Amino acid sequence: MEDLWNIWLSELHKKHTGFTLKIKKIIYSGQSDFQQVDVFESYEFGRVLVLYGSIMITEKDEFIYHEMITHIPLCVHTKTKKVLVIGGGDGGAVREIVKHPSIQKVTLVEIDKMVVDVCKEYFPQVSSEFDNPKVEVLYADGAKFVYHGTEKYDLIVVDASDPIGPAEVLFQKSFHEQIYDRLNDDGILVAQSESPFYHQETIRKMYKNLKEIFPVVELYLASIPTYPSGLWSFAFCSKKYHPIRNFDRQYFAGLKLNTRYYNEDVHEAAFRLPTFVRRLVDAG
């Protein structure tokens, strides 16, 4: 059977290079109002969620992205009460956020209900906190939600897919300006910001814009094997707190989080950038 049914998922990261993964089984394939939504069982990375043709999460390595997009800001602003997550319909970011005791409410705004439904069904370890009473899930356009709303947040996490397809607007300056207005005076924005190897123009533009909006803007890195190039970046943007000077090591130690990637050392190392990455951020 394995020899006859020989399917490889090949995701091209640039036009001429990519990542390839052998598939055991197609678990789900659907078309939502926004995008193609596929779930595969792979040999090497367990179940894989693919949106708009891009690998979003795999069972085996999703912990890295989700730990790094949440615990970095939450171990800096340790009194965070209200969090807004834009995108992140798999639930992984929410799962990590509610581990922090100060959290009172997490609002997740996902444009595509099919993503949430599919993750509840096929990724129960990732979507495990959607029923937590502190968590509210809204199906709406994240950009419009930010524009029309009035509520303020301590932390906004932009857990978007790539800047092609439905998430394109979430990489634009006008969106980040509106985010700024929806943050409290000590609020933090964290947003995924693509690969420093493959998406250099996106990073240059995005950080130039962010630095025109926020007084503190720092790029940090994580190694994620199923993302393009294996090296991924995140933007830490803040009105007040600095990601290193205000990192609360004691708070983190007290949490006993049992993380598999994030730790005190990683928190500080993630902001120390290879020269070519430093130049991308400073170029703006």
Active site residues: 159
Q: How many residues does the chain have?
A: 284
Told to check if 234 binds its own copies by CB under 8 A, we report no
Using CA atoms, how far apart are residues 245 and 73, in angstroms rounded to an integer?
12
- Residues 87, 51: contact at Cβ < 8 Å? no
CB crowding 84-112: b at 16 or more within 10 Å, else e: bbbbbbbbbbbbbbbbbeebeebbbbbbb
Q: Which stretch binds its own copies (CB under 8 A): 105-113, 158-166, 218-226, 246-254?
A: 218-226
Please select the residue that binds its own copies; options are 124, 138, 272, 283, rule is CB under 8 A: 272
Closest to its own copies by CB, 33 vs 265, is 265
- If phi > 0 it is left, if psi is from -120 to 50 it is alpha, else beta; for residue 256 that is left
Closest to its own copies by CB, 148 vs 279, is 279
Site residues for its own copies, window 150-209 (CB under 8 A)? 197-198
Burial class (CB in 10 A: 0-12, 13-18, 19+), 59: middle
Closest alpha carbon to 21 in 272, 274, 242, 225: 225
Q: Which stretch binds its own copies (CB under 8 A): 79-87, 138-146, 177-185, 223-231?
A: 223-231
DSSP 165: G
Closest to its own copies by CB, 19 vs 251, is 19
Closest to its own copies by CB, 16 vs 33, is 16
Told to check if 229 binds its own copies by CB under 8 A, we report yes
Told to check if 139 binds its own copies by CB under 8 A, we report no
Site residues for its own copies, window 18-77 (CB under 8 A)? 18-22, 42-45, 61, 64
Chain contacts with its own copies (rule: CB under 8 A): 10, 14-22, 42-45, 61, 64, 197-198, 221, 223, 225, 229-231, 259-263, 265-266, 268-270, 272-276, 278
